[in-house]
């Protein structure tokens, strides 16, 4: 009894009510209120369809991609404490992080493998959305946002590849940026590039590297893109992506199971076509339907047979017809 009174005194106190605004009674209304009033849970819908929890349909690649992005953010911030983006210290800082910092190798590998997995999961998420037709109406805009997120994910992976500042990173970025010279309109070797005045010292490759070769300027530019510009941009598009998922009716799913077809019913007899009534025009030109009068015969009467004509005899043929005026003359 004392235990119940102690718990009640806590749950009914003003401090408890200021933190937990609604009780934990298991009801549909309280569940919705707890989700809406929670700073973290209100980002999710209060109710989700049953198919949204079916891993066999959604694969969970969208949520896994976002989880990996959070892991990359946390581990990336921790790595920033031990890394200096200069050509003199970048490689040595990576070696110091691997061999001297406690759990440094674990943090770096966690960041590295999470980056690889995020690229894979984003591709799988796009593949699942395409194969299930989830990009169709009314989700066309969100499909476009997803394509932008895929591009930003690849750019994050590419810009982070240079930061170890070893031979593999330098030559990989050299090959990658050389392809930028063939960009249409923006590259000095691309279509219409020379006509627009693109040169090796002012094209898109020069803008990425800060020069004509991979050097210290390229390292600091890739570092700023990797830790500031691209993460902020991708965070904005992730928020828009989640918001559109809510506004478009939640996670897309299969059509609900079709109801069993009813048993076939015997065909109804065809209705007789309506008989067209005869129309008679009056003197005023108005058409009026004629009504046929029905003749009713008494049941007791029998139809009277018409008298059959007698055959003519030769004597009757020889007789002359009487003149109509003969009787009048006699009178």
At residue 289, what are phi and psi to the nearest 5 degrees?
A: -70, 140
The pLDDT, as a whole number, for residue 298 is 55
Residue 158's region, left for phi above 0, alpha for psi from -120 to 50, else beta, is alpha
Helix spans in the chain (H): 2-11, 14-19, 28-36, 55-58, 61-80, 90-99, 104-131, 140-160, 167-178, 204-209, 216-224, 230-247, 314-318, 326-330
Phi then psi for residue 279, to 5 deg, are -115, 135
Place 330 in a pLDDT band, splitting at 50, 70 and 90.
Answer: very low
Classify 60 in phi/psi space as left (phi over 0), alpha (psi -120 to 50) or beta: left
pLDDT in tens, 113-156: 999 999 999 999 999 999 999 999 899 999 999 999 999 999 99
User: For domain 60-162, which architecture applies?
Assistant: Up-down Bundle (1.20)
pLDDT tens digits along 26-50: 788 888 887 887 787 777 778 888 8
Res. 196 pLDDT band, cuts 50 70 90: very high
């Amino acid at each position: 009894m004392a235990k119940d009174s102690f718990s009640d005194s806590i749950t009914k106190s003003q401090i408890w009510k200021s933190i937990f605004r609604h009780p934990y009674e298991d009801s549909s209304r309280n569940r919705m209120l707890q989700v809406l009033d929670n700073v973290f849970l209100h980002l999710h819908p209060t109710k989700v369809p049953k198919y949204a929890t079916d891993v066999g349909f959604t694969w969970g690649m969208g949520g896994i991609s976002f989880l990996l992005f959070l892991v990359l953010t946390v581990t990336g911030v921790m790595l920033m404490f031990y890394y200096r983006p200069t050509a003199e210290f970048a490689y040595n800082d990576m070696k110091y992080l691997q061999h001297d910092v406690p759990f440094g190798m674990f943090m770096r590998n966690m960041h590295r493998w999470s980056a690889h997995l995020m690229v894979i999961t984003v591709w799988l998420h796009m593949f699942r959305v395409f194969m299930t037709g989830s990009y169709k109406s009314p989700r066309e805009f969100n499909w476009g946002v997803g394509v932008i997120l895929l591009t930003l994910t690849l750019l994050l992976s590419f810009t982070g590849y240079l930061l170890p500042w070893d031979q593999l990173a330098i030559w990989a970025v050299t090959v990658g940026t050389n392809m930028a010279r063939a960009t249409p309109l923006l590259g000095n070797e691309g279509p219409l590039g020379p006509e627009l005045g693109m040169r090796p010292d002012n094209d898109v490759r020069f803008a990425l590297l800060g020069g004509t070769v991979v050097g210290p300027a390229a390292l600091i530019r890739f570092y700023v893109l990797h830790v500031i510009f691209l993460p902020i941009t991708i965070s904005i598009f992730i928020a828009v992506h989640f918001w559109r998922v809510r506004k478009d009716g939640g996670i897309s799913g299969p059509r609900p199971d079709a109801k069993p077809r009813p048993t076939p019913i015997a065909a109804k007899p065809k209705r007789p076509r309506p008989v067209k009534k005869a129309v008679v025009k009056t003197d005023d030109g108005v058409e009026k339907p004629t009504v046929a009068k029905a003749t009713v015969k008494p049941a007791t009467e029998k139809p009277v047979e018409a008298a059959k004509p007698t055959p003519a005899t030769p004597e009757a043929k020889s007789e002359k017809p009487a003149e109509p005026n003969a009787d009048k003359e006699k009178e």
